[in-house]
Copies of this chain bind each other. A is one copy, B any other.
Amino acid sequence: MATPMRSGPPRQGRNPELLPASAPGASQEEIRRQNLGAVLRYVHVHGLTSRAELTSRLRLNRSTIGALAADLAAAGLVTEEAPTTARRAGRPSLVVSPRSGRVYAHALSIEADRLRAARVGLGGRILDLREADRPSGMAAPDAVAPLADLVRDMERAVPGDALLAGGGVAVVDTTRDADGRIRIGGADETLHAALSAEFGAGPRFVTGDLADIAALAEHVRGVAAGVNDVVYLHGDLGVSAGIISGGRLVLGHRGRSGKVGHMVVNPDGLPCGCGSRGCWETEIGEAALLRHAGREPGGPDAVADVLRAAAAGEQPAVAAVERVADWLGFGVANLVNVVNPNTVVFGGSLRELYLAGAGTVRRRLDTMVLPPCREIVHLRAAALGRDAALIGAAELAFDTLLADPLHAGAAG
């Protein structure tokens, strides 16, 4: 995948990025590919854009942008048209838009209790969406067949000239066993085998951790758009994170970063399903909130009920929210000290918990985070909701197309 080049000297006082020790050189063909990708990516992220804006933002000259946009239009990836609003003087700059209705990706999410499949158009628009239950005990690879059924169902409504760019799959790491116990470990090689078996010569699927993928979505077009240092926290059965540093996902050596639910925050705490004790999940998970509120174990509905009771001022729900929000802030403070984000985003079930206990969370940061990091960190509720996983999965899928617009994405 091509990495657009950045120019300009490094500024004093700012560390330059590391470069790979062995970096391939650039050829003419690669440059054209890269520039086509830069134009297509820009309109994919920003929507309708004038040629003039592309010229200034991409720092290419006007005729180059014109030729690139024309090539992309000829390939059916963008449209070019005169702007609808009149300009003061001179020839109006054509506006370039992604062909969201024609160019699309399959986006799948394998969530704790739900399977979702969407067609997402270039530009990040959800064109179609189907859902099914994920029964307890269904392993991620076994979810591929019912998802493929949903995909085939959606495909019937796709226009004949549509272009399938590829597929992306967001998989949660924590699932429910048939006996209701929580099990850790979602995506693995068997998932890829299941995707190949089910889709055969169809779209190539890229898979990723749901929290990473949702973080990507919030970074590209959600509450963290334009923010380069982000910790996105996702709560469902477990708690995991998607960490973005300098505009790039911190994936880890095997893509297994962000297992923040298994940071030990309370050495004297309860046993965790992972075999350790006092993990963050044991203090901020659904089970902790219900336990402190004196409720029976339950799912999202039971949690929502506690949050409603707390909002109405009912004890012990208020105390339970305070206590869990305090531990939420505790773990966030540790993460902020480690990765120094500009923005922390609370997603999944943590969104509502954060909104219910924002003051408590912030107080923890005020005592535990070093002052220079504390002052700059923004805490935000996620903007894209459950669609984040699908929109992010589509981003993964579009990446091949955006890296090489004229030679990729012909899988459909």
Please give the residue numbers on chain A whose beta carbons come within 8 Å of chain B beta carbons, in ascending order.
1-10, 12-27, 30-31, 34-35, 38-39, 41-42, 45-46, 57-60, 64, 184-185, 187, 189, 192, 195, 204-208, 212-213, 216, 219-220, 225-226, 228-229, 241, 243-260, 262-268, 274-276, 330, 333-335, 337-342, 367-370, 372-373, 376-377, 396, 399-400, 402-404, 408
Q: How far is the CA of A267 from the CA of B60 in the complex (A)?
A: 54
For A31, give its contact among B26, B187, B220, B244 (CB under 8 Å).
B26
Cβ-defined contact, B373 with A254, below 8 A: yes
Q: How far is the CA of A337 from the CA of B334 in the complex (A)?
A: 13
Cβ-defined contact, B373 with A252, below 8 A: yes
Q: Smallest distance from the beta carbon of A77 to chain B beta carbons, Å?
A: 17
Residues on B with C-beta less than 8 A from A402 are 19
Cβ-defined contact, A264 with B4, below 8 A: no
For A17, give its contact among B225, B249, B258 (CB under 8 Å).
B249
For A24, give its contact among B7, B24, B377 (CB under 8 Å).
B7
Cβ-defined contact, B15 with A212, below 8 A: yes
Cβ-defined contact, A338 with B340, below 8 A: no
For A340, give its contact among B31, B257, B399 (CB under 8 Å).
B257
Residues on B with C-beta less than 8 A from A45 are 21
Cβ-defined contact, A252 with B206, below 8 A: no
Extra pairs beyond A256-B372, A262-B369 (20, CB < 8 Å) = A1-B17, A3-B6, A3-B17, A4-B24, A5-B5, A5-B23, A6-B23, A9-B404, A12-B204, A17-B249, A18-B247, A19-B402, A23-B41, A25-B39, A245-B248, A245-B257, A248-B248, A252-B340, A253-B342, A259-B340
Q: Is the interface of A mostly helix, strand, loop or mixed?
A: loop
Task: Indicate whether A245 sits within 8 Å of B256 (C-beta atoms), given known contacts A23-B4, A26-B34, A399-B16.
Answer: no
Cβ-defined contact, A266 with B267, below 8 A: yes
List 23 interface pairs A-B (beta carbons < 8 Å), by A numbering: A1-B9, A4-B25, A6-B24, A10-B206, A12-B205, A12-B206, A13-B187, A13-B192, A16-B206, A21-B46, A21-B225, A22-B57, A25-B34, A184-B370, A251-B340, A252-B373, A256-B372, A257-B338, A259-B373, A262-B337, A262-B370, A264-B368, A338-B338
Residues on B with C-beta less than 8 A from A1 are 6-10, 16-17
Residues on B with C-beta less than 8 A from A27 are 60
Residues on B with C-beta less than 8 A from A399 are 10, 16
Cβ-defined contact, B18 with A219, below 8 A: yes
Residues on B with C-beta less than 8 A from A339 are 243, 250, 252, 257, 338-339
Q: How far is the CA of A59 from the CA of B29 in the complex (A)?
A: 13
Cβ-defined contact, A368 with B252, below 8 A: no
Q: Which one of A23, A30, A41, A216 has the highest number of Cβ atoms from chain B below 10 Å of its Cβ?
A: A23
For A15, give its contact among B21, B251, B334, B337 (CB under 8 Å).
B251
Residues on B with C-beta less than 8 A from A3 are 3-6, 17, 19
Q: Which one of A3, A15, A250, A254 has the highest number of Cβ atoms from chain B below 10 Å of its Cβ?
A: A15
For A2, give its contact among B5, B208, B367 (CB under 8 Å).
B5
Cβ-defined contact, A208 with B15, below 8 A: yes
Q: Smallest distance from the beta carbon of A253 to chain B beta carbons, Å?
A: 4
Cβ-defined contact, A35 with B25, below 8 A: yes
The list of the 6 closest CB pairs from A to B, nearest first, reads A252-B340, A4-B23, A25-B60, A253-B342, A257-B340, A24-B59
Q: How far is the CA of A16 from the CA of B340 in the complex (A)?
A: 23
Q: Which one of A30, A212, A252, A264 has the highest number of Cβ atoms from chain B below 10 Å of its Cβ?
A: A252
Cβ-defined contact, A254 with B206, below 8 A: no
Cβ-defined contact, A26 with B9, below 8 A: no
Residues on B with C-beta less than 8 A from A21 are 41-42, 45-46, 220, 225-226
Nearest chain B residue, comparing its CB with the CB of A187 = B13
Nearest chain B residue, comparing its CB with the CB of A407 = B9
Nearest chain B residue, comparing its CB with the CB of A249 = B18
